[in-house]
Amino acid sequence: MSGFLPILFILALVLLVSSFRIIKEYERGVVYTLGKYSGTRNAGVQIIIPFLQELVRVDIRVRTEDIPSQDVISKDNVSVKVNAVVYYQVINPGHAINRVEDFGQATSQLSQTTLRSVLGKHDLDEMLSHRDKLNDDVREILDSQTNGWGIKVTNVEIKHIDLDHSMVRAMAKQAEAERERRAKIINAQGELQAAEQLDEAATILAKRPETMQLRYLGTLGEFTNAKGSTIVLPMPMDLLKSLNITGGKK
């Protein structure tokens, strides 16, 4: 009988040692007692009853899930390929283990379908120019749906929106046409302003003939100083009368 005491002591020592579990700072331990969920253990040394309890470790650090390229048809019927990245974290290990079989795979699949659904409600121009808003929309939907799994979606970033080559050429032509349209509008606005200025000047000159005569004399001076052929300009009769060259009394 005395020979079994050392054996029992050794067995008891082995069971005692095997009952200790060390949980790291970035982990949490989900404990099952006789197959039933009995709580979550924090970081540090934890005691688990051998054969009666089981410990499942869960990493609570932020995870990065790369969403592969998804075929998306925009609201204006343009086909594009979009890929993104999702950042999420386990905030309730018990729910993450008990309520979904594989929370990583489930989050990935949900991210793909949500990305296609959200982007399909927007035009191509909105996809290209309002990417931050689309990121927030996808994140909010994912976070609300994964909340019951103990998952917190912290961020979503759309990385690339790839267009077909024919669509790229069409967009380039559209941009060129838009630039030409704006240039024509600016040119027309300039001509309108010039015409308004000329009309205003003509009104002022019509009210004050002496101003017109001074302008005429200034123009003659410019031609006189200019090099080249001699240019003969008609002399207004009003100007001659004002200078007493014709029709004047002796």
Q: Clarify whether residues 22 and 72 are in a common domain.
A: no
For strands 79-90 and 63-73, give the pairing: antiparallel
Indicate whether 67 and 158 sit together in one domain. Answer: yes
CA 82/CA 185 separation, integer angstroms:
36
Contacts of 40 (CB under 8 A, 6+ apart): 28, 29, 30, 31, 93, 94
The domain boundary residue, chosen from 41, 59, 77 = 59
Whichever domain contains 153, its CATH number is 3.30.479.30
Long-range contacts of 181-184 (CB under 8 A, 24+ apart): none
Encoded amino acid at 44, one letter: G
From 59, 77, 95, the end of a domain falls on 59
For residue 186, tell me if it sits in a domain: no
Residue 20 burial (CB count, 10 A) = 10
Compute CA distances 40 → 31, 89, 149, whole Å.
6, 16, 15
Residue 200 or residue 89, greater confidence = 89
- Residue 246 resides in a domain: yes
CA 211 – CA 166 distance, rounded (Å):
62
Mean pLDDT of the chain, nearest integer: 81
Instruction: Please check whether residues 46 and 73 belong to one and the same domain.
Output: no
Q: How confident is the model at residue 190 (pLDDT cuts 50, 70, 90)?
A: confident
- Based on the fold, state whether residues 38 and 68 are members of the same structural domain: no
Residues 222 and 241 in one domain: yes
Edge to edge, what strands does the sheet with 151-163 contain?
63-73, 79-90, 151-163
pLDDT tens readout for residues 128-185: 888 999 999 999 999 999 999 999 999 999 998 888 766 656 666 666 777 788 888 8
On whether the CB atoms of residues 53 and 31 are closer than 8 A, the answer is: yes
**Domain identity same for 81 and 94:** yes
Structural domain that includes position 222: 202-250
Are the CB atoms for 104 and 86 separated by under 8 Å? no
Encoding tokens for residue 136? Answer: 């927030």
- 183 part of a folded domain: no
What amino acid occupies position 167? M
Indicate if 160 and 82 belong to the same structural domain.
yes
Q: What is the pTM of this model?
A: 0.64
Domain count, the chain: 3
